[in-house]
Structure 1
Amino acid sequence: MASPSPVLPRDAIAAIPPALIRSIANGAMGREGLLPFWFGESDETTPAFIREAAIRSLESGETFYLPNLGRPYLRDSLAAYLTRIHGCPIESERVAVVSAGISGLMLAAQVILSPGDKVVAVTPLWPNVVEIPRILGAGVTRVPLAVRDGRRSLDLDRLLAALTPGTRALVVNSPNNPTGWTITEEAIDAVLAHCRRHGIWIFADDVYQRLPYDPDVAGAPSFLTRYRPGDRIISVNSFSKAWLMTGFRIGWIVVPPDIVDTFVKLIEYNTACVPEPSQRAADAALRGGEPVIASLRAHLRRTRAILAEGLGAHEGVELPEAGGGMYGFFRIAGYEDAVTLTRRLVDEVGLGLAPGNAFGLEGRGWLRWCHAASEDKLRDGLGRLARFLALSRQA
């Protein structure tokens, strides 16, 4: 009898590396005295009025299947919110409610990408975003951000050169996870003109769009403000960051009206619908959440300054300036292996950071520190890093 063939996934899935941040965090979670800054979420719980909306929904028995695109009340609220924030009309017919931002990115890719397609991504980047095209059999060309004059910078000419005719899609995350780089209005105009000319889709990962550090703007620059009929723009967003709702797993996408019905089908085949308690919570967040966002943004400005001051006190530490988000992406001279360094920080001083390698080859030697934490916790973490560096110098 012939030996049975091995039980294996398809090649595209087998080639995907395990999530590096998770592998480091999972090995250390529960360790006494550990101070974690590796995940991208605030220490604050979801505000009470948002939680209470979900509780009322459960208590009233809203536990049934719902429309694939989301309940009309939430789609209307999202359209009104987006129209107000961006200063241009965004109709509810273009909005779909999805099971978190990552689900929206996967759905967008499923609608647009085929095996063998070329996708261009501005990197370093949250690994989920670049692995999704690979799961679907597409190839990804990375265009790395550079560090110039102390801040992350996009080489626009290099990006446009990578967006060759036949490119299927461009992925842009701004403000960027992990670097905090934020695209400019001028770059949006240039990129959009180029993509229009060549029929290239734009996947805009806008999850941090409401979290620029500049207090005088409502949000970071957005491709949505330039949309006109016929444009191939899909904006993906989430309630997780700006409204402190990571555990609710709810987000939305804004798509051209011609492909909305396609998302009806794909949402059905992926998740069917988002639970009503999460939709009620999201609606409450949109209606009463601006003070929450304002408070979070003020907090992030303070903690970014604390982190920058603390890291800047050490010789050989480089922290480029950033336009928004909730991360410090930095490196320490003499420590080129970020994975080994993060493991040592956990073992020797109980400090949990994310290795830059998790965000691609461009991140080798870099570390990501989520500063959406209390000021006391952040200062404690900086003290632990200082202790580690002092002990390392003595060794």
Structure 2
Amino acid sequence: MGQTAHVSAVVWTAAVSLAAWLWLLLAQGFFWRTDVRLPTRREPDVWPSVCVVVPARDEAAVLPASLPSLLAQDYPGRAEVFLIDDGSTDGTGELARELAGRQHGLPLTVASPGEPPTGWTGKLWAVRHGIALARACEPEYLLLTDADIAHAPDSLRELVSAAGTGGFDVVSQMARLRVESPWERLVVPAFVYFFAQLYPFRRIGKERAGKKGERRTRTAAAAGGCVLLRSEAAERARIPDAIRHAVIDDVALARAVKDSGGRIWLGLADLVDSVRPYPRLHDLWRMVSRSAYAQLRHNPLVLFGTVTGLTLVYLVPPAAVAVGAVTGSAGAAVLGALAWLVMAGTYVPMLRYYRQPLWLAPLLPFTASLYLLMTVDSAVQHYRGRGAAWKGRTYARPGTVPDEG
């Protein structure tokens, strides 16, 4: 009787997991589709001016593969690049000047803001300094891009055309991350897949009526590696001052622009690539765990719900198949297999986008288990006082630092 009850519980749990996957498949903004690319665009008669702001800390290893691509932008309007050296110890600033000296392209200014004051992350303090320098040029747009991001020659003109045509205050692209090592193949496409599940790209570009007829986007998110931001919108939303302590600064930026009445768009990139390698599991683990608990607002109850949800959605299907095979329960095996099939099917488009073999799709439960452990580790490190640590700095939880007027 006891074993029958246990099997019955597995059957019901597998049924709930399958129902969850059917809901995700049909009702979560079709997050699994990868055809959200730059929207319809036309080139303007007069090209607006753009300033590119690149915060950089100890990026000498990747800068030769990224900075020349920015300096070589084929942009018909006025544009220049500001690289803000955030206290690097590896010669990042000197290397940037050397790379610019070898290449005739967009003008480059290299500056350093000094150590960030209390309440600021290093990246956003560097962005603030870059925006302040850019204001002297009175640009219509700011391109905020990371030091490990390489752009195709027409990337900037395509971004500006899309923003102008669609009337967007933010146009952001999720850079195509590097996928070469075995661990990168297993973990990186899933990273973008999970992000899209949390922030379905289709919903970000849609609008709904807000208070007093204001237009508001349904979901707010951006990808920090490539954010084209209208200068007027940045001032209206007080970027970056309003988000100065945000570890997940790209999502915070998008929310701030949305809350100030701006329009945002986010999609996958064809012309923007990350050149940063994550060859070992340890490297990928650090990338995810440094901000995972911040994503959960440092809330233990949200952490518990996330772990429960990941277990139900990703780990129950293969477990139900195994239980069904051992106990002879056809119900558990069939329901688990169906949920697993839907899961793998939704992952296939992302694997195709990253040009990876489709046999990786059934391994998604294993990858999800890694992300579950990374999330728990992020919480553990937070309570040990080592949360949100990156490149020699550890940032306090928002709300524990003094607020500025």
Q: Same fold (TM over 0.5)?
A: no
Higher helix share: 2
Q: TM-score, normalised by structure 1?
A: 0.27
Q: TM-score, normalised by structure 2?
A: 0.27
Which protein has the larger Cα radius of gyration, Structure 1 or Structure 2? 2
Q: Return the structure number with greater relative CO, CA threshold 8 A, min gap 6.
A: 1
